Amino acid sequence: MSRKYFGTDGIRGRVGEGAITPEFVLKLGWAAGKVFAQSGRSKIIIGKDTRISGYMFESALEAGLVAAGVDVTMLGPMPTPAIAYLTRTFHAQAGIVISASHNAYHDNGIKFFSSEGTKLPDEVELEIERQIDQPMSTVESANLGKVDRMTDAAGRYIEFCKSTVPAGFSLRGLKIVVDCAHGATYYVAPAVFDELGAEVIVMGADPNGLNINENVGSTSPRALQARVLEEGADLGIAFDGDGDRLAFVDHTGEFVDGDELLFVIAQDQLRTTGSCSGVVGTLMSNLGFELALKDLEIPFARAKVGDRYVIELMKSRGWQLGGENSGHIICSDVTTTGDGVVAALKVLFALMNVGVPLHELKAGMSKFPQVMINVALADKSRLDNNADIEQAISEAEQKLDGRGRVLLRPSGTEPVVRVMVEGEDGELVGLLAAEIAAVVEKAVA
């Protein structure tokens, strides 16, 4: 069955529009409460990022869940992976995250974790959607849910992150600039690296509700690149608004994306343990990444874009490492979901193991030039069986002559279609991407 409200990563949109209204979120909380209460008295954990609308939706969810007879534990601003971890360790029936990830403050969203700290099964999401369309009711007063607040949530998550590297591991002697995107990692990420001994310079850690992801963070790395050079730092680490993705900047100011970070982690696993079972990427993973893994004889497979699909393929293959070039990295040997801080520690562990700069360590992988252009798209069906688009793609693939790729992908979180072209010749790649994007724009106008 197709979903009416849930996308590939929960429910997301502009505040005050569609499903992102207090009325709908109240009903969503109630519907989720009804589903989880079917197995008896339930407890659900709620966390959020730092955008101003989080207060409103936090209250709406709380009211809906309590009306359905579900107990609620509030975490306040916490990274998305922290909510997954705390849901699992506190044996809650579910965790709810109020966040629009890397989007600007005027967007928000709701996503769920299961009791195991993983994405909800499809059948549970569909059951919640069925309940949303039912009339809302309130349980008897004696059965209303109760609400408490976890005051030590940040400390618990900090200790968990540190536990994912070996005891005695130290970052002493390393100078790191940490960009928290004015988001959910603003407190915990600097604390983790500081407590492990690094000299930490913090930026993007003054959230005011309106500045999340504004010219900072993993999707806007220029400020971090400049700061790394200004401070003479060994490297920089940038997170997105909810802390489930990251990017690095090396000491020369070069941006290091998710593909390169996955390569560094996989290479270190092979070096230290003698094996790496395999790595899952996505349709957007760089061809150079795939070829670099092939040179190391590490198996590689592509999933659809979205950490949900990466994790599904990792489980089916029995592999423990996967992610996206956007910086979602899943290390399933230590956690259940994409975790920016944990992934950063994996990269730092590899650096300290070898004792060479990140710039040198990532040099084993050569990225193919890749250009992506977003074209506004209100109706995805306009892409189907369009002869002009198909012809433009076919002509581009002929020009790439088997040494590149063309991909059209409607976004699961934004009203755009992403036009991606990749190949050895950067000038040709840029030209072909612009040509296809122009055809797509004309076709969907």
Helix (H, G, I), strand (E, B) or coil at 78: coil
Q: How far apart are CA 244 and CA 344, in angstroms?
A: 11
CB proximity list for 21: less than 8 A, separation 6 or greater: 15
Q: What are the contacts of 56-59 at 24+ separation with CB within 8 A?
A: 56/22, 57/22, 57/25, 57/98, 57/108, 57/110, 58/98, 59/22
Give the alpha-carbon dihedral of 191, 196, 200, 203, to 10 degrees: -30
Q: How far apart are CA 124 and CA 6, in angstroms?
A: 11
Where helices occur in 69-172 by DSSP H, the ranges are 80-89, 122-132, 153-163
Candidate list 101, 114, 218, 326, residue with the active-site label: 101
Q: At which residue do the structure tokens 């992506």 appear?
A: 372
The helix-helix angle for 340-354 and 258-273 (nearest 10°) equals: 50
Closest CA to 43 of 95, 100, 80: 95
Q: How far apart are CA 409 and CA 419, in angstroms?
A: 7
101 a catalytic residue: yes
Closest CA to 66 of 101, 37, 93: 37
Q: How far apart are CA 262 and CA 325, in angstroms?
A: 9
Q: Is the distance from CB of 3 to CB of 129 less than 8 angstroms?
A: yes
Q: Annotated active-site positions, please?
A: 101
